[in-house]
Amino acid sequence: MESAYDGRQVVGMDLHRRRSVLVQMTGDGRRLGTARIANSPAGLGKEIARAGKRPGVVLEAAYGWYWAAGVLQAAGAAVHLAHPLGVKAFSCRRVKNDERGAADWAGLLRMGRLPEAWIAPHEVRELRELTRYRQKLVHLRTSCKDQVHGVLAKLGIPVTCTGIFGTAGSAWLDQLSLPQPYAGKVTSLRHLAGELTTEITMLSEVTASLLAGDRGATR
């Protein structure tokens, strides 16, 4: 990208897993240059430094944007996050590529028409990471339990107790004489569900500790 322009610049960034495209513009929409970089904090920091002091930079809230936003903010850029649904209309273009996408986002930011998503602070991102991971584990545990019920249904075994994963239910499962491979499958699923419960409990405790004293979390 070029650096001769002295005014405040606007930069659109099309972020991908390995490589990204940055389009640099003036405040009135004149294209200053385009850069293609291999993704790395050092490479992005070096490239955005060429955009002058406190450039406005827009990237989409897509896969892996955390690190890029952090690098840009550390470099002094005013970072804006394009909302994926808000910019979806541009995916219908007949001519569509990374450079065009980055230029579109820069243009929307320049004109004050960019549909933005909230850039959560680091502490909120950390809480999101924990709660989303816990949710994934809960879904996996539910799948394990559902599969145990599925095995019993296949074998025509009626469930005669409430909650087969509680104390009484586990004892009831233990006394069943299931043929193979169903017995091995049920044993494996019960073990996995137990391990997942341990992880879920640990994550709940960590999250509760981080939120201790937070008035919003107790409402």
| pLDDT tens for each residue of 6-64 | 789 999 999 999 999 999 999 999 999 999 999 999 999 999 999 999 999 999 988 88
**Residue 3 resides in a domain:** no
Domain of residue 112, CATH code: 3.30.420.10
Q: Contact, 32 vs 2, CB < 8 A?
A: yes
**What is the reported pTM?**
0.81
- Residue 8: name the closest of 45, 50, 53 by CA: 53
On whether both 127 and 214 belong to a single domain, the answer is yes
**Residue 5 resides in a domain:** no
Q: Residue 128 belongs to what domain range?
A: 122-218
| pLDDT tens for each residue of 66-106 | 999 999 999 999 999 999 887 666 555 555 688 988 999 99
**Residue 198 resides in a domain:** yes
**Residue 17 resides in a domain:** yes
On whether both 31 and 52 belong to a single domain, the answer is yes
Angle 103-106-107 (CA atoms, 0-180°, nearest 5)? 85
Question: Pick from 90, 117, 144: which residue ends a domain?
Answer: 117
On whether both 157 and 170 belong to a single domain, the answer is yes
